[in-house]
């Protein structure tokens, strides 16, 4: 059992050992000691419904994934400069879900590395240096992609242009037009477009999902100007949106490059860039890329097990069904209370935009912070997102069931009605 | 049992699925299917002495490391936004070996990410933009550090200056002077120094180890000019050099920032930046850095087990003793045959520079390629390095014993004497 004294001791050790760049969730930080399925267990014995973490996509510590990891770790863990079955099988399975025609894969360890590499590739292959992202995008933490991640407070990198995000039906309908105007601005500055880089669920913007297909016009525009479309699937990928394995598939477009990460190893560090074979061939001319851990035996075996579980447990269908159930419940709450201004998302990636709450006297970001912390006290873990910080971010493991959604809805109803 | 047909099938699948940036070792690529300690086993049943891979620092598939990995993977794998014991204990243990005074740590997943972050930090904290590296350095594969990695054929990034490496006693003695002249050149260009970034064993340059202490003057020079010293310990760290846990310690200097990676998890993707607390505090002003997998529970538990095995099996001492034995044997071969021009290194990081071989009629890089492939055919895995490709790179797991060194020496003697 953890006591407040233990928490204080951990906080003090953390301050003495980790850099002050580290941040903790929640007003009362949680010490988590184990997790299983949709549940996380704190040191004080309390359990929490995990409706936040998108990494454990098939549920925390899934036995089949852990078993694959351990079996391979006992046998062999080495890199891609020897021949091996695992990275080939993984690349084949991924490409089968991703690209209708011939594609290729490069494995990395993190989504940041994948986006960094995709951006490098797009510069090398197009000869361009201009990038279009949305205003509050997040694409990772290397120097290059930090310049493409205004959400983190970073200054924009050279050649980076932003467009307003497609939040809401009107902004979604005019998204292509905004991208076209942005390309014109870029060209007027003498900058040649390299790529349009988009998180296909617009997570950091506060979640933009509908209507399906709104990306198509923007993708046509960048291609017409000689640039590539890079789909950042680090957040929406691996079935999270229920209707498809990848976010771009909801929009009827095929990206030139696709990056993926977070859920790929259910917590094990593996990520990848996939894309058109001709793009990789062009990039490979005179250039090497080697990632020591990227595509190692254990990472690949783990990722293969994640794909197998997504299939065998029919998790896309579950994400679709549970997500729909949850969104219906959220919409009912919205009609009842008036605090909820909008419910967006697909599958188990849901954004709940909050407005004024008479019960708490708070609004927007302050109300959202109160709700996130209030849900935590009530045993449900969620986060917040969006430029204004007024969107509750819900991203449960894809194994979430209706009974878990009910717990979340009930805790949210209580929190919205309460003053604290 | 693997047959040539299987190898051809794997090669064909590789060409159809992986990007052409991938490269394989050896003229006859090896399909490795399991590994244990210093041994790797191929699909055809043959075993190979691994005298190349620095990642499995405590030996392939070390049972204590695998057990720690599996125990934690079954229990919890989550990130640093909850409180947890593992990352704190790991940071404490690392800092105890690294910095005499107060230091801090940021965990990443790869050495590339660690170097990318250290370079970003040095720019932010010094306000400078100039970097000094050696001419054939390698520091990683993100966009930023690719510009600091001429070994990979990348063009130098903006503000990057190079100095000739400290290979040999004279070049080592004048290394500080070269760095001073480089700083003058930089300042004459109006560029303010941000950092001197060095792999403390100069792996890609062909291994530069002696005399101990030659780095001190260069480090003083960059500090006097307002820059930081970043020690890239991705290759020499974790006891590989036998005499100390970290390469910089052989030179009696204390870096401002230290990056580490490859052996940290014995194959599991974990890496870190450590350094002076005040530097991280300055960087943290207005900046966030979050790495989803960096410092996750499983990675930290694995790295803690690696540190425990290094201590309990006394692997520094073994690396020192086995390395010395191996270098003595190599020097004897050098005296006998004349093909070996130089033997450099410390502990189990050894570079063997080759010259003309009358038996093969080859010299330099061609002879080195022949020797590396000849050793592979004789069941011993090594690599090559150096700007001229004429250095055999030997980096066995630190558990290498004299009997294994004898096998290597015998195979090398045979190879040097043979025509093929």
Asked whether residue A358 falls in the same domain as residue A250, the answer is no
Chain segment B291-329, per-residue pLDDT in tens: 999 999 999 999 999 999 999 999 999 999 999 999 999
- Round the average pLDDT of chain A to a whole number and report it: 96
Which residues from A are below 8 Å from B108, CB to CB?
110
CATH of the domain at B397: 3.90.1150.10
Which residue do the tokens 């970001």 mark? Answer: A365
**Residue B412 CB neighbour total at 10 angstroms:** 26
- Asked if the Cβ–Cβ distance from A78 to B13 is below 8 Å, we say no
**Residue A214 CB neighbour total at 10 angstroms:** 20
Which residues from B are below 8 Å from A262, CB to CB?
292
Asked whether residue B198 falls in the same domain as residue B82, the answer is yes
| Closest listed residue to residue A135, CA positions, set A156, A165, A115 | A165
Q: What is the pLDDT of residue B338?
A: 85
- Asked if the Cβ–Cβ distance from A83 to B35 is below 8 Å, we say no
Q: What is the dihedral of CA B63, B68, B71, B75, to 10 degrees?
A: -160
Q: How far apart are CA B50 and CA B404, in angstroms?
A: 9
**Residue A1 CB neighbour total at 10 angstroms:** 8
Q: Is the pTM of this model over 0.95?
A: yes
Q: What is the pLDDT of residue B420?
A: 75
Contact criterion met (CB below 8 Å) for A65 and A312? no
Chain segment A16-72, per-residue pLDDT in tens: 999 999 999 999 999 999 999 999 999 999 999 999 999 999 999 999 999 999 999
Asked whether residue B69 falls in the same domain as residue B107, the answer is yes
Which residues from B are below 8 Å from A25, CB to CB?
81-82
- Is B84 an interface residue toward A (CB < 8 Å)? yes
Specify the number of domains making up chain B. 2
| Closest listed residue to residue B302, CA positions, set B230, B234, B238 | B238
- Asked if the Cβ–Cβ distance from B267 to A61 is below 8 Å, we say no
Contact criterion met (CB below 8 Å) for B380 and B411? yes
CATH of the domain at A135: 3.40.640.10
Q: How far apart are CA B131 and CA B420, in angstroms?
A: 43
Asked whether residue A301 falls in the same domain as residue A318, the answer is no
Q: What is the pLDDT of residue A100?
A: 73
Mean pLDDT of B195-215: 98
Which residues from A are below 8 Å from B110, CB to CB?
108-110, 113, 291-294
| Closest listed residue to residue A19, CA positions, set B146, B131, B248, B114 | B114
Residue B256 backbone dihedrals phi, psi, to 5 degrees: -80, -40
Asked whether residue A377 falls in the same domain as residue A328, the answer is yes
Per-residue b or e along A358-388, where b marks 16 or more CB atoms closer than 10 Å to that residue's CB:
eebebebbebbbbbbbbbbebbbbbbbbbbe
Q: What is the pLDDT of residue B2?
A: 58
State what percent of residues in chain B have pLDDT above 90: 95
Residue B100 has pLDDT above 80, yes or no: no
| Strand positions, DSSP E, A11-128 | 32-36, 39-42, 47-50, 103-108
Mean pLDDT of B129-134: 98
State what percent of residues in chain B have pLDDT above 70: 99
Angle of CA points A285, A276, B267, to nearest 5°: 75
- How many angstroms separate the Cα of B111 from the Cα of each of A342, B134, B199, B261, B298? 42, 18, 12, 5, 18
Per-position DSSP letters for B385-406, written without gaps between them: ESTTS-EEEE---TT--HHHHH
* pLDDT band with cut points at 50, 70 and 90 for residue B4: low
* Domain-ending residue, one of B260, B279, B312: B312
Contact criterion met (CB below 8 Å) for A221 and A180? yes
- Asked if the Cβ–Cβ distance from A153 to B14 is below 8 Å, we say no
Asked whether residue A347 falls in the same domain as residue A377, the answer is yes
- Is B395 an interface residue toward A (CB < 8 Å)? no
Chain segment B82-96, per-residue pLDDT in tens: 999 999 999 999 999
A-facing residues of B in 269-298 (CB < 8 A) are: 269-270, 280-281, 283-284, 286-296, 298
* Domain-ending residue, one of B244, B277, B312: B312
Q: How far apart are CA B345 and CA B240, in angstroms?
A: 10
* Domain-ending residue, one of B285, B312, B339: B312
- Round the average pLDDT of chain B to a whole number and report it: 96
The order of strands in the sheet holding A47-50 is A32-36, A39-42, A47-50, A380-381
Contact criterion met (CB below 8 Å) for A284 and A362? no
Chain segment B228-241, per-residue pLDDT in tens: 999 999 999 999 99
Residue A1 has pLDDT above 70, yes or no: no
For residues B286 and A358, the model is more confident at A358
- Is A313 an interface residue toward B (CB < 8 Å)? no
Q: What is the pLDDT of residue A352?
A: 98
Residue A264 has pLDDT above 70, yes or no: yes
Asked whether residue A324 falls in the same domain as residue A297, the answer is no
Asked whether residue A107 falls in the same domain as residue A230, the answer is yes
Which candidate from B104, B119, B146 shows the least CB-CB separation from A19?
B104
Q: What is the pLDDT of residue A2?
A: 59
Q: What is the pLDDT of residue A337?
A: 81
Instruction: Retrieve residue A281's tokens.
Output: 């061939």
Asked whether residue B46 falls in the same domain as residue B68, the answer is no
Asked whether residue A369 falls in the same domain as residue A353, the answer is yes
Mean pLDDT of B240-262: 97
Q: What is the pLDDT of residue B288?
A: 85
- Asked if the Cβ–Cβ distance from A76 to B261 is below 8 Å, we say no
Asked whether residue B229 falls in the same domain as residue B329, the answer is no
- Is B47 an interface residue toward A (CB < 8 Å)? no
Under DSSP, the state recorded for B141 is S
> What residues make up the domain containing A54?
4-58+314-417
Asked whether residue A399 falls in the same domain as residue A413, the answer is yes
- Helices (DSSP H) in A233-356: which residue ranges? 277-284, 297-312, 315-337
- Is B182 an interface residue toward A (CB < 8 Å)? no
Contact criterion met (CB below 8 Å) for B355 and B339? yes
């Amino acid at each position: 059992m953890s006591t407040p004294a233990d928490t204080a001791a951990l906080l003090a050790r953390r301050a003495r050992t980790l850099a002050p760049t580290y941040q903790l969730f929640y007003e009362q930080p949680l010490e988590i000691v184990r997790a299983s399925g949709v549940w996380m267990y704190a040191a004080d014995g309390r359990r929490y419904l995990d409706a936040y973490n998108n990494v454990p996509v098939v549920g925390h510590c899934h036995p089949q994934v852990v078993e694959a990891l351990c079996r391979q770790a006992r046998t062999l863990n080495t890199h891609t400069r020897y021949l091996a079955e695992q990275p080939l099988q993984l690349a084949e399975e991924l490409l089968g879900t991703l690209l209708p025609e011939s594609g290729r894969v490069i494995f990395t360890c993190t989504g940041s590395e994948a986006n960094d590499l995709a951006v490098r590739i797009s510069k090398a292959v197009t000869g361009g240096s201009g990038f279009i992202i949305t205003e509050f995008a997040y694409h990772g933490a290397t120097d290059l992609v930090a310049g493409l991640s205004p959400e983190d407070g970073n200054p924009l990198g050279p050649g980076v242009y932003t467009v307003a995000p497609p939040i809401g039906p009107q902004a979604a309908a005019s998204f292509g037009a905004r991208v076209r105007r942005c390309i014109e601005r870029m060209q007027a500055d003498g900058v040649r477009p390299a790529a349009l880089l988009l998180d296909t669920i617009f997570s950091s913007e506060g979640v933009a999902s509908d209507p399906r297909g709104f990306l198509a016009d923007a993708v046509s525009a960048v291609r017409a100007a000689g640039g590539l479309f890079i789909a950042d699937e680090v957040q929406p990928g691996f079935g999270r949106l229920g209707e498809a394995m990848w976010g771009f598939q909801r929009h009827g477009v095929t990206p030139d490059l696709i990056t993926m990460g977070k859920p790929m190893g259910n917590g094990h560090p593996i990520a990848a860039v996939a894309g058109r074979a001709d793009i990789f061939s062009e990039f490979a001319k005179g250039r090497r890329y080697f990632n020591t851990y990227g595509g190692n035996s254990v990472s690949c075996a783990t990722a293969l097990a994640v794909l197998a579980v997504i299939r065998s447990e029919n998790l896309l269908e579950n994400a679709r069904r549970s997500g729909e159930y949850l969104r219906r419940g959220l919409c009912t709450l919205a009609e009842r209370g008036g605090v909820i201004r909008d419910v967006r998302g697909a599958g188990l990636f849901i954004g709940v935009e909050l407005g004024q709450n008479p019960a708490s006297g708070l609004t927007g970001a302050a109300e959202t912070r109160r709700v996130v912390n209030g849900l935590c006290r009530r045993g449900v873990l969620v986060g917040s997102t969006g430029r204004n910080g007024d969107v509750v971010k819900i991203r449960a493991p894809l194994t979430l069931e209706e009974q878990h959604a009910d717990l979340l809805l009930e805790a949210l109803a209580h929190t919205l009605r309460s003053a604290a």
